[in-house]
Structure 1
Amino acid sequence: MVNLFNAVKKGCKKAFVTYVDLIKVIVPVYILITFLKNVGIIEYLAGFFSPMMQLFGLPGEAVVVLMTGYFLNLYAAIGAISSLQLGVREITILGTMLGLAHSLIIEGAVMKKMKVNVLNLVILRVVSSLIVGVILNLIL
């Protein structure tokens, strides 16, 4: 019984630390995206990228989520998604695209240490992500 209690206690501690680490990423990104939306920068980016994002059936502002996920990580993308008014369809498309290509900088560094051709894998992941986005737009 003592071992079970210690295991639960240890698990709860690790879960709390993980929760705090995620909050440290998600909340600042959420605040930043909300700020950028309120000062009009998101609207400007949305207008500029809207034609490209229509290929994926996404509003122009979704480019912020896509770039955040591509260059930072999925948790930052979650913060960005939560600050925008996107529907289930759009979130599904973005989530799938980001599942294929995310954290490209960090994972690129890891791939480089593993002596893998980083450029080819990054191109493959991004192109795959974009193709899947187009396909999902057509079928959803």
Structure 2
Amino acid sequence: MAALTLFFRELFLEIRMVSLTLFKIMIPVILAVKLLEYMGGVELLGQLLGPLMALIGLPESMGLVWAATMASNIYAGMIVFFTQPQQEALTVAQVTVLAGLMLMAHGLPIEARIAQKAGVRLGPTLLLRIGGGFLFAFALHLIYGQGGWLQQPNELLWQPAAVDTSLSGWLWTQGQSLLMVQLVIILLLTALKILRLVGVERLMFWLLQPLLRLLGIGTQATTITIVGVTLGLSFGGGLLIKEAQTGDISKRDVFASMAFLGLCHSLIEDTLLVMLLGAHLSGILWFRLAFSLICIALLTRWMDRRSPAFHQRYLVRPD
């Protein structure tokens, strides 16, 4: 009985710590992004991104889609996508390229802040997410164009319902989202604690050692990386913040893990979401995985050639 009481007490403390950490980040950022949107900042960003869209074979109006996605989330980008008249004339290849941008760089105000809290500097995070996203989309554009693949007209698999744009509707939506985050945190931490007790976590370490060695990520970050890849950076990042604050994971591994999660996270939900736009699985899953693995393998090897002083100055935040 005492062991069971200790189990639930430790679990409660972990849930409270991770929840408070995430909500302290998410709630102020959500409010700031709403204010930015109200002041026209998202539209301005879309206009700035418009000319870049031509480099990846997209109409300028898709810049607003990416801007909304980066400022808010993939759902917001999808809603904006359906308001653009040019979306009806896009090919499957073009939608897949756009989806690549959305998958790599979305929800940046919250997710970049989570990375900062875990110990990663803001500059490298934004460079990797935005620059890496554009490079990924450019590579997809070249591959599909050169091969003549997926050039058929795109067919939408989903049309959004009417959205309540009032302040009360927005507050209700955000409240539902935060409640869902809390529920996932409770289920996730409970499952991880049980898996750790029955020894499944050690089995995961052993099975994933070859991949982790390739990526240059330490075994201490295995569970957190898996959580982020499958469920999302917010959840994986929340756990990583907790572990980083205890000092159980080195700053080098924190950076490598967050870099990988920046390029490749929420493979289940986000992939299914952009498939509703008509994006093809070849780009949004398989090529995304290959691109992320190659980038992080190269990045960690480059990091290992740099001095600890370089890491402290440009990559990770001091304690």
For residue 139 of structure 1, the aligned residue among 298, 302, 318 is: 302
Q: Which amino acid aligns with 1:69?
A: G
Q: Deviations over 1:66-90 (max 9, x none)?
A: 3322222222313443565322211
SS at match of 1:30: helix
Output the TM-score relative to the length of structure 1. 0.72
TM-superposed CA distance for 1:137, in Å, is 1.6
Whether the 8 Å contact between 2:237 and 2:258 is mirrored in structure 1 is no
- Cα deviation, 1:90-130, whole Å, max 9, x if unaligned, reads 12111111111112222222222211112322122211221
Q: Structure 1 CA distance, aligned partners of 2:274 and 2:176?
A: 27
Gaps of 5+ in 1: 1-9
Provide the secondary structure at the position in 1 that maps to 2:187: helix
Q: 1:67 to 1:16 in 2, by over 3 A?
A: same
Q: CA deviation at 1:46?
A: 0.7
Higher helix share: 1
Identity %: 20
Tell whether 2:203 aligns with 1:44: yes
The count of residues paired between Structure 1 and Structure 2 equals 131
CA contact (8 A) 2:224 2:236 kept: yes
The aligned runs of 1:1-140 (5 Å cut-off) are 19-60=178-219, 62-81=221-240, 85-140=248-303
Cα gap change, 1:59/1:22 in structure 2, threshold over 3 Å: closer, same or farther? same
CA distance in 2, matches of 1:43, 1:83: 20
Unaligned runs of 5+ in 2: 1-167, 304-319
| Residue type of the alignment partner of 2:270 | E
Return the alpha-carbon distance in structure 2 between the equivalents of residues 87 and 20 of structure 1.
32
SS of 2:236's equivalent?
helix
Is the Cα–Cα contact under 8 Å of residues 215 and 297 in structure 2 kept in the other structure?
A: yes
Larger radius of gyration: 2
3-state SS of 1:31 partner: helix
Deviations 1:23-53 (A, max 9, x none): 3323432332233223321112112222321
Distance 1:38 1:82 in 2: 22
